Homo-oligomer: A and B are copies of this chain.
């Protein structure tokens, strides 16, 4: 069995309304972020190549003796530390090659996530022996976070699929985008999907505009994100199937009178996996960034054949990332039941999910700040 793990939902990041489970306990994101690590590794070759080829250290270091990196939507670690160290190693290598007689630059790394993120855990986990000065930056990455022209490399992994808010119209009975009986656009009317797509495009546009101010010309953004192949329906993905399972369990609980159907109608997950075509379109409209390279992949090949994820472990992972959102809307016993029954329901459709999971649901984009504006 290939993995059923659906990486995109395992990290509820800067833009999401509720942060991942904090602390270092058994149910924490920190101890359940193994799968994010696998997903991040898939992107590693792209990052390495883009930095090695495109980052002109000579030019960047002509105006600054410090190289500044940011991880936008870093959660609580530990993946962020590996990702940042990897980029630093590549830049150092490049400096050794191209600036052999200059002193090595200093590095400053900004770890960004929502103000509600567990920065205490993050700060206690930062490697004590590190080659950079560390800072935490609380705030939404859809807004400005840093001074003008102060960053050289921005990294964001499994964060940009989180919308800044629930798309408009989903909870309005009179809107064509009313999302009755669902918690996501999977299997919903096209108007619902479009509302999600519009919100996502606005958010990404805001992200790029903010970064355009903050990143120096020649600076790079590396994005690893949940994706969907162009032209594919979200309900065909393992994620979509799971969201539909969740909705169906909640509706079932509503039938027993423990919650109202209106409560289910009023709950929508603010997450959107954009197909590459939509991503490229937003970047091209933005004008401040060139696409250096991009790609789609399926994270599962990174698991060997003998890695089996049991459904209990899988649901625990999903819970660590998403429980907070459900808890804000439903009573705790409802959420408990939902996740318990989810494990059973997903086991029943494991064949379909396994097959769906072979799709390319991860995309990489490496963008470079041009000289305009």
Contact = CB atoms under 8 A, between A and B. Distances in A.
A370 interface: no
A137 interface: yes
Counted per complex, copies of this chain come to 2
A147 interface: yes
A258 to B, nearest CB: 33
B150 A66 contact: yes
Contacts of A96: none
A123 interface: yes
A55 B115 CA distance: 32
A324 B144 CA distance: 37
B115 A124 contact: yes
Interface string A41-71: 0000000000000000000000001100000
Given A147-B66, A148-B65, A150-B66, A123 B138 contact: yes
A35 to B, nearest CB: 25
A280 interface: no
A118 interface: yes
A309 interface: no
A135 B106 CA distance: 18
A119 B108 contact: no
A263 interface: no
Given A108-B147, A120-B118, A147-B108, A138 B136 contact: yes
Interface in A107-161: 107-108, 110, 115-116, 118-120, 123-124, 126, 133-139, 144-150
A134 B149 CA distance: 16
A21 to B, nearest CB: 14
Nearest to A149: B65
Interface in A70-110: 106-108, 110
Nearest to A68: B147
A119 B123 CA distance: 9
Contact of A135 (B120, B124, B135): B135
A147 B133 contact: yes
Nearest to A66: B147
A136 B133 contact: no
Contacts of A138: 123, 126, 134, 136
Contact of A133 (B65, B116, B134, B146): B146
Among A116, A135, A138, which residue has the most Cβ atoms of chain B within 10 A? Answer: A135
A10 to B, nearest CB: 22
A119 B145 CA distance: 17
A123 B134 contact: no
A118 B122 CA distance: 12
A138 B136 CA distance: 8
Nearest to A107: B147
Given A123-B119, A147-B66, A148-B106, A134 B134 contact: no
A148 B120 CA distance: 26
Given A119-B120, A119-B123, A134-B138, 16 more contacts: A65-B147, A65-B148, A66-B147, A66-B148, A66-B150, A106-B147, A108-B147, A115-B124, A116-B124, A118-B120, A119-B136, A120-B120, A133-B137, A133-B145, A133-B146, A134-B139
Interface of A: 65-66, 106-108, 110, 115-116, 118-120, 123-124, 126, 133-139, 144-150
18 contacts: A65-B147, A66-B147, A66-B148, A106-B147, A106-B148, A107-B147, A108-B147, A110-B135, A115-B123, A115-B124, A115-B126, A119-B123, A119-B136, A134-B137, A134-B138, A135-B135, A135-B136, A136-B137
